[in-house]
Structure 1
Amino acid sequence: MPADNLINAPEFTVSELSSALKRTVEDRFGHVRVRGEISGFRGPHSSGHCYFALKDESAKIEAVIWKFAHARMRFKPQEGLEVIATGKLTTYPNSSKYQIVIDSLEPAGIGALMALMEERKRKLAAEGLFDETRKQLLPWLPEVIGVVTSPTGAVIRDILHRLEDRFPRRVLVWPVKVQGEGSAEQVAAAIRGFNALPEGGRIPRPDLLIVARGGGSLEDLWSFNEEIVVRAAADSMIPLISAVGHETDITLIDFAADKRAPTPTAAAEMAVPVRSELFAEVESLARRTMVCWQRGQESRRNELRAAARALPSLSELLAIPRQRLDHLGAALPRALKANTHAHHRRFSHLSAGLTLKVLRGQVTQANHRLTVSGERIRLSARALLRNRRERFAGLEVRLKASKLSNAQAQRNAIARNRERAQRLAERARRALDTAMQRLDARVAHSGQLLSALSYRGVLARGFALVRDDHGHAVHGAAAVGPSARLSIEFADGRVGATADADRPQATAPASGAPKAAPREAKPAAPKRVSKPVDQGSLF
């Protein structure tokens, strides 16, 4: 292109060019669907937005998901996953690049979903959510069964019909969406809601939960592969049966549930036994129990008969005890008389020993013991009194010693304080002398300075100070009127003078003479019209 044409081309600013490119890209493409692999995704930014790139074998495009769009996405971005992104193509002027603002995200094909499912399965298994030790035993005959499924599908009808055929139980249905956006959150909320019901409340708490859904493709069953559903199933304190899809369909909730059923109908069969079979089994057990009881009773009856034949008769058992009783009855009167005579002899012997002499001897012994005890008490009191006196004497000596030592300590303290006061007084005297010397030197210096600056030094060099009759200094001849009274001060005294009527011509000061320094202004006295005197300058 010729240079003249280049010169005539319109000029754009960088912002104008970026805006024009942005409009061109957005108007040309608008909303697009892009397939590629997620690269550079490190999780949502602190602001909540997601920044990453979509790439294939030969190209890469920057991508961004705003916070509000990421919150409502059912499928979240993950590093290395191949996806199909739907969004608006635009540019980012600050770095001169184009990007796609993603509104929705979905995995690219079954292979990607299976890869995502396997990765999520490994992650949750590493956390221990699929351990067999976490699984609970199913109740043998639950009173209330909670079912989490769609209220309009055939699944709930199959479950209710199967329960009615086998063993009717009370069923609580928590209606949820089992497919599409928001279905995973509803299923998880239903499981947690059943667990949150209080025992003995208005709504009974289920003894068993069934999470059921009919068959479908992997995309249709994807809600039951979400982490929120798997974690809710693993955290359930109520035993849970997973009945999602057909027998060949596998979802992650099957690994977290306490029991997996191949179909919803099979889940109902696992939940309750067959009622007729239970009746037959109960009747069989009742018959067997009755037969066993009859056999036991017959066996015990035979044992009793055999024992009865081996036992002797009643008369034979009581013959010897009866004979012993007759013999003892005959010997009892003689034994009573002998016992009475023995006790009488003992009492007689004891009464013979209780004479007046014995009693006096016992009284004498008691008096002797009393005298000895009184003497011992008197001696003990004296010893105790002596010990107390000795103790008080020791305490008195210690008290006197303490008083002396305390008095000596007080005297030492007073002496130390006196010495300290003397030292402080001496220091105060020296400090006062030093301060007086400094003040004397300062006064002398100030006197010298005052003498140097006083006007009397000027008078001593031959000058005079002229004042008017008011005592004000006269600085010029113009301030002196005719016949004005003046006071002239010399170094050795003052003299009075009267100005002449004739006013001499003022002479200009010599050029080499120094000018008088400006003085502080004083209130001006009323000027008199007088003839100036050629006094000159004192300074």
Structure 2
Amino acid sequence: MSDTSNIAEFSVSEISGAIKRTMEETFGYVRVRGELGRISRPGSGHVYLDLKDDRSVLAAVIWKGTASRLKIQPEQGLEVIATGKITTFPGQSKYQMVIEALEPAGVGALMALLEERKRKLAAEGLFATERKRPLPRLPRVIGVVTSPTGAVIRDILHRISDRFPLHVLVWPVRVQGETCATEVANGIRGFNALAPGGPIPRPDLLIVARGGGSLEDLWGFNEEVVVRAAAASDIPLISAVGHETDWTLIDLAADLRAPTPTGAAEIAVPVKAELLASVDDLTRRLTSGLLRLVASRRTELRAAGAALPSPRDLLALPRQRLDTAGERLRPALRATLRDRQGRLLTAAAKLSPQTLARTLRHARESLVAIGGRKARALHVGVERRRQSFDATARRLSPERLGDRITLSRERLDGLSGRFDRAFGERIKAERRQLGGLEKLLDSLSYRNVLARGYALVRDEAGQPLRSATGVTPGTALSIEFGDESRLAAVVAGGEGEPEVPPQRKARPAKERPPAAKQGSLF
């Protein structure tokens, strides 16, 4: 094409922008029905996915703010109807759909999603029977997660007031719509987060309630966030969502399912009048039983008292033993007093001044004898230590040290001579081994073959020739004999006198110096 063409030139950005404007002005907002394929959730919070049918694939994106407000969360394989606009992504030359609303394509798709989610959560053990806890017999505080303006909360409060008035806390939430699941899950977690004994009393029982409705209306109670919050609740939880024929996934995760919100209130608390009547009946039965027990014990006591002997007969024998002991006590006291007086006189005789002086003299003599033995023992110990020190000093005298040094030097000289002899023997053995290897190398060398009359022919590159094939007239050769090498040139073969072509002279081959023999290393 000529450089003078009048076709307008566009930049890449101009073309991309024009295509983007054309796509957005042509389509605007569209509703697309398809199956969700690849779904990607990067750290930015945006959701990237594919809408596909049996023939085509449409790339789509859900921005972070829109993704948090969706009625249902996108899951692979779900058939949906997406609402948004078609636009382009100039950075990759592709078009895509920006989704602003997402809804399932009919009740069948919702049921399929519900069954798939039910299987997934059941596999995690969230619906296991052993995880369910018993409800408190008589809760003091009940927490209700529901809408504060609907008829459900009025029915629950009315039923609780009729049966057993107690403290009820209401956590207001939306029970339908985009934020329903998040608000219900936050309500369950919020009640569990209350500290026992705090300014706001912590409930002993939770009720999650909502009136009846279609599957789409109750869908918020099928979301994973609600099911996981119910399963993780430390407070026993009653699910009262919908009518008796309705069921949601929170019913399977709760500790107990009530057919209706009113039924949940009836399950949560007993009837106060019935309890009072039961308590009165038990009180009457207890009082009557106690009266019968006291009467029975009184009769048994009287019978036992009639069988016992009189107090005078019971005390006659102990009184006699007391009189006998009293008569023996006075003579025993006199004998004991005489014995103590005799022992006192004996001890006083031993404590006379003459006896004390004699005892003191004997003790002084014993002390002097012990002092003499101690001095002799000390003298003997000192003499023994002196003798031991003298013997040690004699062993450490210069003459003894000189003898030990001389003996050590003689041993060192002997070891040095043994080392020199051993090293010489090792050198001789290594030299003999090296000589044997040298002889083996000579016997295996090709030069021995050349010495028997053979020759080695090499080409111009110095490579050995094993065949005449490929050797042309005029080729320069190097022939090595047993004693030396010669240069040669190939001439034309045939009968008669061979001729050397005049136009080409043989180039002398590079003479290879004879290989030097391996000499001794020593």
The TM-score with structure 2 as length reference comes to 0.68
- 2:208 is aligned to 211
Amino acid at match of 1:33: R
Structure 2 residue 229 is the aligned partner of structure 1 residue 238: no
User: Which residue is 1:283 aligned to?
Assistant: 280
Map 1:351-362 onto structure 2 (within 5 A).
362=359
Query: Against the structure 1 CA distance between its residues 358 and 85, is the aligned structure 2 distance closer, same or farther, given a 3 Å change threshold?
Result: same
Question: What does residue range 47-446 of structure 1 map to in structure 2 within 5 Å?
Answer: 47-92=44-89, 98-346=95-343, 362-363=359-360, 365-386=362-383, 389=386
Aligned AA (1:135): K
Question: How many angstroms apart in 2 are the aligned matches of 1:12 and 1:378?
Answer: 127
Pairwise CA distance, 1:343: 4.2
Q: 1:283 to 1:387 in 2, by over 3 A?
A: farther
Gaps of 5+ in 2: 406-522
Q: Deviations over 1:110-167 (max 9, x none)?
A: 2221222222223333333333343333222222211111111100010011001100
Match of 1:36 in 2: 34
- CA distance, structure 1, for counterparts of residue 391 and residue 261 of structure 2: 104
Q: Deviations over 1:457-496 (max 9, x none)?
A: xxxxxxxxxxxxxxxxxxxxxxxxxxxxxxxxxxxxxxxx
Name the amino acid aligned to 1:166. R
Match in the other structure for 2:25: 27
Task: State how far apart, in whole Å, the 2-side matches of 1:25 and 1:354 are.
Answer: 135
Hey, what's the Cα distance between the residues in 2 that align with 1:37 and 1:117?
16
The 3-state SS of whatever aligns with 1:210 is: strand
Offset, 1:345: 4.9
Match of 1:537 in 2: none
Which whole-Å CA distance do the structure 2 matches of 1:93 and 1:255 have between them?
48
Task: Provide structure 1 residue ranges, at least 5 long, that are not aligned to the other structure.
Answer: 1-6, 409-539
Q: CA deviation at 1:289?
A: 0.9
TM-score normalised by L of structure 1: 0.66
Q: Alpha-carbon deviations, 1:430-480, whole Å to 9, x = none?
A: xxxxxxxxxxxxxxxxxxxxxxxxxxxxxxxxxxxxxxxxxxxxxxxxxxx
Greater Cα shift, 24-33 or 159-168: 24-33
- Letter of the aligned partner of 2:205 in structure 1? L
Compute the displacement of 1:357 (Å): 7.9
Secondary structure of the structure 2 residue equivalent to 1:83: strand
Which residue identity is paired with 1:328? A
Map Cα deviations across residues 210-235 of structure 1 (whole Å, 9 max, x no partner). 11100111110111111222222223
Q: Secondary structure at the match of 1:145?
A: strand
Q: Do the aligned partners of residues 227 and 367 (structure 1) sit closer, same or farther apart at CA in structure 2, a change above 3 Å counting?
A: same
Residues 6-41 of structure 1: per-residue CA shift (max 9 Å, x gap):
x99989887766655544443333211111111122
The structural deviation recorded for 1:107 is 1.2
Matched with 1:514 is none
Q: CA separation in 1, counterparts of 2:240 and 2:311? A: 76
Tell me, in whole angstroms, the C-alpha distance in 2 between the residues paired with 1:204 and 1:297. Answer: 45
Structure 1 CA distance, aligned partners of 2:46 and 2:333? Answer: 116
Relative distance call for 1:343 and 1:24 in structure 2 (3 A) is closer
1:392-442 deviations in Å (ceiling 9; x for gaps): 7689889998xx99xx9xxxxxxxxxxxxxxxxxxxxxxxxxxxxxxxxxx
Q: Could you tell me which amino acid in structure 1 is paired with residue 34 of structure 2? A: G
Distance 1:19 1:361 in 2: 136
Provide the rounded CA distance (Å) in 2 between the counterparts of 1:333 and 1:98: 129
Cα distance change, pair 383–225 in 1 and its aligned pair in 2 (3 A): farther
Q: Comparing 115-124 with 294-303, which one deviates more in the overlay?
A: 115-124
* Counterpart in the other structure of 1:509: none
Q: Which stretch has the larger CA shift, 200-209 or 244-253? A: 200-209
Q: CA deviation at 1:391?
A: 7.1
Whole-Å Cα distance in 1 between the matches of residues 299 and 323 of structure 2?
A: 39
Tell me the C-alpha RMSD between the 2 structures. 3.4
- Segment drifting more, 348-357 vs 381-390: 348-357
Task: Name the SS of the counterpart of 1:40 in structure 2.
Answer: strand
Which residue is equivalent to 2:482?
Answer: none
Structure 1 residue identity aligned to 2:120: K
Change (3 A) 1:164 1:363: closer
SS in 2 for 1:128: coil
Shift of 1:185: 1.6
Q: Give the letter for the 1:165 counterpart.
A: D
Q: Within 5 Å, which residues of 2 pair with 1:525-536?
A: none
Q: Distance in 1 between matches of 2:340 and 2:7?
A: 156
Q: What's the CA shift for 1:204?
A: 2.2
Matches within 5 A, 1:407-486: none
The higher radius of gyration belongs to 1
| Distance in 2, Cα, partners of 1:160 & 1:73 | 33
- Equivalent-residue separation in structure 2 for 1:49 and 1:343 (angstroms): 110
Q: Which amino acid aligns with 2:258?
A: A
How far residue 94 of structure 1 moved from its aligned partner, in angstroms, is: 6.1
- Displacement of 1:80 in angstroms is 1.1
- Aligned-residue offset at 1:271: 1.3
Alpha-carbon distance in 2 for matches of 1:355, 1:111: 125
Whole-Å separation in 1 of the counterparts to 2:226 and 2:133: 18
Q: What amino acid is aligned across from residue 58 of structure 2 in structure 1?
A: I
Equivalence for 1:536:
none
Q: Distance in 2 between matches of 1:366 and 1:238?
A: 89
Deviations 1:286-332 (A, max 9, x none): 01111221122122112211211121111111111222222232333
Between the aligned partners of 1:16 and 1:50, the Cα distance in structure 2 is: 28
